[in-house]
A = this chain, B = another copy of it.
């Protein structure tokens, strides 16, 4: 059996892209088909296309959308490695970044102007993500040259804009009703902002920790020493945001905690930031976290707004240990689009072979005569 697929890098992940038609033609459930294609269950995924790590055992299934105003509908699949299972429970901000690019390459969407907008719906979450693909002179660049933190080589620039991302978890952007609050933790008072956009995040001020925020090495070291204290703050915020009944019951992953600082006077950046994820400093920012920070910064009264000020900004430069992440905001037809840039590219166009007769044609064919060469 042969299945056409595109192997693409999206952000800092590798993702296998399947068109819905192609996988449906196999007549096999994706919960069976994807693990077999990826080589699972096997800690090395040695007999399949999986890369034996969580960031390289991912798939996107997509199709042109029949929904008005939506170009592409896509579903993210986290394919198990040691278990032959597929987790459909969440979206992936990295793999999402390939969808607009794929749609343009397949001519599902014609490139227009300098930036081509591809409206996508992620079916895992229901979220509309408007992808802004750089198409200078109305076409994808011959040689893509966009860079991003965490990837050494260039790709096509793709902005992932989350449509009206506020309150998806708690129902409102500011779950406490306030742009900032005082928390009492460990006998100290903390001025924080609790924001729900993309994901729930509690933002604290680096000055409350007396951090040297111009040097990320010392910042990281100081934070490492204060992780238990920071987790106490995070758990207190969970209660205030209505995410947990008591600090002890707070989930490990929600809310996330971000430490924010004003950049140096001569810096081109808007906010210096360090995000904690699952109790540890994150080298950069998950896209959901960058959206919470961006919408927080637009909101008067937050600790982020105190850093960036009142001037409206179409883009925001967030400095992280791994580099600068640029986010964008735009209002349009009464909706707010907040997003961040990624890079993406196709690594290989492939026909994946499965040896056993899961379907009708179990032979392995090379198709060399009908395919373009080097």
Chain A contact residues, CB within 8 Å of chain B: 1-7, 9, 12-14, 21-23, 25-26, 39, 41-42, 44, 46-49, 51-53, 55-56, 105-106, 140, 142-144, 151-155, 345-353, 355-357, 362-368, 370-374
Contact = CB atoms under 8 A, between A and B. Distances in A.
A143 B366 CA distance: 16
How many identical subunits does the complex contain? 2
A18 to B, nearest CB: 9
Across chains A and B, which 9 residue pairs bring their CB atoms closest together, nearest first? A22-B374, A348-B350, A350-B350, A47-B153, A25-B374, A3-B374, A349-B351, A348-B352, A143-B362
A226 to B, nearest CB: 28
B370 A9 contact: no
A292 to B, nearest CB: 25
28 contacts: A4-B371, A4-B372, A4-B373, A7-B49, A9-B46, A12-B46, A13-B46, A21-B374, A39-B153, A46-B55, A47-B152, A49-B347, A51-B56, A105-B365, A105-B366, A144-B355, A154-B355, A346-B364, A347-B352, A347-B353, A348-B348, A349-B350, A349-B367, A349-B371, A351-B371, A351-B372, A370-B370, A370-B372
B352 A351 contact: no
A356 B47 contact: no
Contacts of A372: 2, 4, 351, 365, 367, 370
